[in-house]
Amino acid sequence: MPHPAPAPDAAGFHQRLLEATLAEVFGALDPGLLAALQPRLTTLELAGGAVLMREGDDSDALYLVLSGRLVASRAVAASRDAPAGETILGDIGRGEPIGEMGVITGAPRTATVRALRDSVLLRLDGADFIDLLQHWPRAGLSLARKLVERLSKKRGGARRQRYVNVCVLPLQASVDGAALSAALHERLAALLAADTVGAGDPSSTRVAGHTRGSVETALGVDIDLAEADALGEHRRLLHWLDQQEAAHALQVFAAEPGDTAWTRLCLRQADLVLLAADADADPVPQGVELAHLAGEARRIAAHQALWLLHPGDRRRPSGTAAWLAARPHLAVEGLSHLHLRRGHEGDAQRVARIVAGRATGLVLAGGGARGFAHVGVMQALEEQGIEWDLVGGTSIGAVMGFYAATGLPAARVRDLSRDAFRRNPTGDVNWVPVMSLLRGRRLKRVIDDAVADAFDGAPDVEDLWKPFFCVASNCSRQRAEVLVRGRLSEALRASVSIPAALPPVLRNGELLVDGGTFNNYPVDLMRAAGAARVIGVDLSQDDHRAIEHADVPAPWAFLLDRLFRRRDARRYKNFPSLGTTVVNVALMASTSHQKRMRDLVDLEFQPEVSDVGLLQWRAFDRVVAIGLEHARRRLAEPRAQAFTRPGRPAP
């Protein structure tokens, strides 16, 4: 993995970095402001995992990030439903201020901030900060704009994670970490080189790769000796790494499997640690992971994700839950694990896109039998060579979404889903409707068989080749529930169990029903999961049909009309059935949310399926054809073609 030679003037580099950071926060610097600022700034070196400030502390100073990355979190009090913990507010990177609001308002710190990795900060005493704002009000205006920008991003949804320094850590000696790092570096470099974002800034498309040997050769330093010489060679090494970071969009560090000085350095520099492991090995943490990254010994705060390696001919992953259970600190929402089949280029490219922040998410909305249109859209996307890396869905969108996460070709997905829905999943009437109008046994068989036919056995949600989530509604807590763990068939049934129509699913002592009640089109959740671009399939219809009758027909009249008249000749064809009414009511609460989600989609499909009944399961081929033809027309439009071209800009 090649990298540029180090710049000769470390002092000059850090002065330029200082001036660039100050300009980023305070705006254009006139000589007077720069001269007033510099003597008041104190340099603070913070080791990875160290705490900068704690929630509730006095707001005595403002900090500016010169290099590195930190994370802000807030304590969450224990409740009846959950123990005490913390919620992550976001990452803080180079050029960003920390603690400015507390200094301005005089209020205590509102969050705990700790270093994700080795970081260098500038400290400005609170009194000096206020004095500067009084003498240079334009600097205060620039800072206010930066605050408004930060708040706007918060309101717009979770900020997309952006990794700069990626460390590949092999967990077993049998895993060739150097080869994995080199391959990842190569694909990241090709990916960023094809991206038009920041084309005027070469650093925005450059990727560096570092091994112990390459760094020692470039600097003429022994890593082991440098670690012991904290004020000499080690400082020079860190300064050089700062230079490399400023010159590149991404860096890949190839760590060693043992607890060596080089591995410790890699871990302290990382924003993301990829735990590369043989999927068939013992999942219990050991060695360097146990010493630094897991349990009570965890000292590295960087984000971690499993990178599980499988034989190239494996049909599906298995046992992922055991790996994640042994590492409860891994993210439940967002990136927690990746699967890679050896020799499978599609898997390797997907890992690169996710790591680079270029992942494409596919979001499939709920809508009963209209959801068969999802299959047609997927086929059209495949015809254009459009890949998706993450999948999320609600209700029937969850069922079709699981197919999308298998990595199976569209033709196979079409055959499997057609076979699965040959039986009417809502045809078992509950003659004693205490909890639901339907017994739900048919639906269970349909989903269980669908999962078993696509994958042998009974996989977990985690055992899909592509990261997947589905949405259910938690009746016990009155909230949406994002399902990313546990039995796949159970999660799908929970997401599709229409309230009152189908029995709820009991999961971990809580009742779950159709996710459409809260979030029928989870585009916001896909953004939060890290998708840079989102492809969405929305099945909601904006049409309104007036009913030309003075009154609702009697039950017997409605039944006779349905039984003895052709569909086009029915008197009461505009009156919905009981099942359709129940489905519509279940979706009504999230209708306004669904409309708002359209603004967050980069490429959206809205097939015309209003003529298809929500429970018209026999219309499979017709609905798939509607989705396919709509998607083909949509993809032929100029805007969609711009989305599919190489070098397309990310949003």
Rounded CA separation 591/597 (Å)? 10
Host H or E run for residue 307:
strand 303-310
Q: Hey, which bits of 456-504 come out as E strands?
A: 468-474, 479-483
Strand pairing category for 479-483 and 97-98: unpaired
Task: Say which of 389, 428, 514, 602 is annotated catalytic.
Answer: 514
Q: Both tokens of residue 101?
A: 């609001």
Phi and psi at residue 521, to the nearest 5°? -145, 80
Whether 395 is a known active-site residue: answer yes
In this structure, what DSSP letter does residue 487 have? Answer: B
Annotate 86-127 with three-state secondary structure: EEEEEEECCCCEECHHHHHHCCCCCCEEEECCCEEEEEEEHH
Beta carbons of 396 and 498 less than 8 angstroms apart: no
Q: Show Cβ contacts of residue 599 under 8 Å, excluding neighbours closer than 6 positions.
A: none
Token pair, residue 467, equals 């990261």
**Cα 629–Cα 634–Cα 640 angle in degrees, nearest 5:** 145
Encoded tokens for 55: 């929630």
Answer whether 237's CB lies under 8 Å from 9's CB. no
Report how far apart the first and last C-alpha atoms of the chain are (Å, whole number): 29
For residues 316 and 318, what is the distance between their CA atoms, to the nearest angstrom? 7
Count the Cβ atoms, other than its own, within 10 Å of residue 269: 26
Selecting among 318, 395, 495, 590, the annotated active-site residue is 395
| 3-state SS class at 204 | helix
**SS3 state of residue 341:** strand
SS3 194: coil
Residue type, 86: E
Examine the residue annotation and report whether 514 is marked as an active-site residue of this protein: yes
Q: Mind telling me the catalytic residues?
A: 395, 514
